[in-house]
Amino acid sequence: MHAIELRSDNAAGVAPAIVEAMVGANVGTAIAYGDDALTASLQRRVREVFEHESARVFPVTSGTAGNSLALSALCPPWGAVLCHETAHILNSEGGATSLLGGGAVMRGVPGPDFRVSADTVSAALDSVRWGDPHHSQPSVLSLTQPTDMGTVYPVAEVAALGEAVRGRGLSVHMDGARIANAIVSLGCSPAEITWRAGVDVLTLGATKNGALSSEVIVSFDDRASDELVYRTKRSGHVTSKMRFQSAQLLAYLDDDLWLRLAANSNERMAQLARGLRELGIGFVNRPDVNMLFAQVADDVATRLEEAGLLFYRIAPGLIRLVTSWQTTVDEVEQALGAFTRALR
């Protein structure tokens, strides 16, 4: 058996249609820094996909860039960004938001299922000394959709959270590193889960789902958009040959490719979870998208590794399994076979 990749969707390759689009974009010359025809097309396409007349798109090359720049445009330097205590922006971006946000701080909020809830956000906001400059003022709620633990916020919950915090003067950011997986899982439209539910700025991930080097910020807020023109550039996130990022994104959005790729990873995870459940393995999260935290004894994990399964050990007795656009039915079958053997 060749190695089966279940470590991260980050480890997957690039979808063929996206490679083709990049190769196809390599014709002639084009003006740099986003003033090209492909980037203009992408701008129009994003407005169509999100059914929003004035949304603006800013291609960047990493999720950290997308999140921290989006937050810097929503949060004043003296503000605080609220997010779940397990959020990527808080734990895995090296303080990018504090750097690019001019010293803004982040505050982790608890909540079941790795999601903030109306109650926990409310409690966090109630403890704020509003208007007291000694106290960092919550200015943005950042929701990770799906969460870093593979759970999903229902549309109504995003909308309720958005409405609640907006009443206290906060904006809403969505870290959508895997947003396509959430959209497929929820069966909603891109607009429903974002601006219609109160999201001001979205970080739309693509690299984990088949793109090569493109994430984009989609801003539904004109003031934030105006700032992002400058903020993206001066942090070094405006590439000269942006047309090749735009080409990726155009292919990604074309014919719902992004949703089809995400559907595959979600379905492969459903297939895997079904099989594991039958084998009696317990889960920490509900596998709503393409990620599973499974309770697997350490010696079993060792045997799985020896059998060629690639995955992460999170803690004693706990492993993380992630499927991708590239995972095949056959690979999942083989993985389940390996589990069966390892459990004997």
In three-state secondary structure terms, 227 is: helix
When asked if residue 122 is in the footprint of a second copy (CB under 8 A), the reply is no
**Cβ 232 to a second copy, closest distance in Å?**
7
**Cβ 253 to a second copy, closest distance in Å?**
19
When asked if residue 112 is in the footprint of a second copy (CB under 8 A), the reply is no
- Which one of residues 173, 196, 237, 320 is an interface residue with a second copy (CB under 8 A)? 237
When asked if residue 245 is in the footprint of a second copy (CB under 8 A), the reply is yes
- CA 88, 89, 92, 93 dihedral sign is positive
**Cβ 7 to a second copy, closest distance in Å?**
7
- Which one of residues 17, 45, 47, 61 is an interface residue with a second copy (CB under 8 A)? 61
- Which one of residues 229, 297, 307, 336 is an interface residue with a second copy (CB under 8 A)? 229
Closest CA to 265 of 3, 20, 11, 89: 11
Site for a second copy in 315-334 (CB under 8 A): 324, 326
Q: What is the DSSP string of 141-198?
A: EEEESS-TTS----HHHHHHHHHHHHTTT-EEEEEETTHHHHHHHHT--HHHHTGGGT
Q: Give the binding-site size for a second copy (rule: CB under 8 A).
A: 75
When asked if residue 236 is in the footprint of a second copy (CB under 8 A), the reply is yes
**Cβ 229 to a second copy, closest distance in Å?**
5
- Cα first-last separation, the chain: 19
Site for a second copy in 89-108 (CB under 8 A): 91-96, 98-106
When asked if residue 120 is in the footprint of a second copy (CB under 8 A), the reply is no
When asked if residue 341 is in the footprint of a second copy (CB under 8 A), the reply is no
- Which one of residues 144, 145, 194, 232 is an interface residue with a second copy (CB under 8 A)? 232
Show the tokens assigned to 8: 């991260």
Q: Which residues lie below 8 Å from residue 269, measured CB to CB, with a gap of 6+?
A: 287, 289, 290, 291, 292, 321, 322, 323
When asked if residue 1 is in the footprint of a second copy (CB under 8 A), the reply is no
- Cα-flanking dihedrals φ and ψ of residue 26, to 5°? -85, 60
Query: What is the distance between the alpha carbons of residues 160 and 130, in angstroms, rounded to a whole number?
Result: 22
- Which one of residues 19, 160, 164, 297 is an interface residue with a second copy (CB under 8 A)? 19
Beta bridge partners of residue 82, listed in sequence order = 107, 141
Query: What is the distance between the alpha carbons of residues 51 and 339, in angstroms, rounded to a whole number?
Result: 44
Site for a second copy in 160-179 (CB under 8 A): none
Site for a second copy in 130-159 (CB under 8 A): 133-137
Contact 191, 159 (CB under 8 A): no
Contact segment (CB under 8 A) with a second copy among 43-51, 73-81, 271-279, 291-299 equals 73-81
When asked if residue 314 is in the footprint of a second copy (CB under 8 A), the reply is no
When asked if residue 44 is in the footprint of a second copy (CB under 8 A), the reply is no
Query: What is the distance between the alpha carbons of residues 263 and 290, in angstroms, rounded to a whole number?
Result: 9
Smaller CB separation from a second copy, 227 or 267: 227
Smaller CB separation from a second copy, 23 or 123: 23
Query: What is the distance between the alpha carbons of residues 321 and 81, in angstroms, rounded to a whole number?
Result: 29
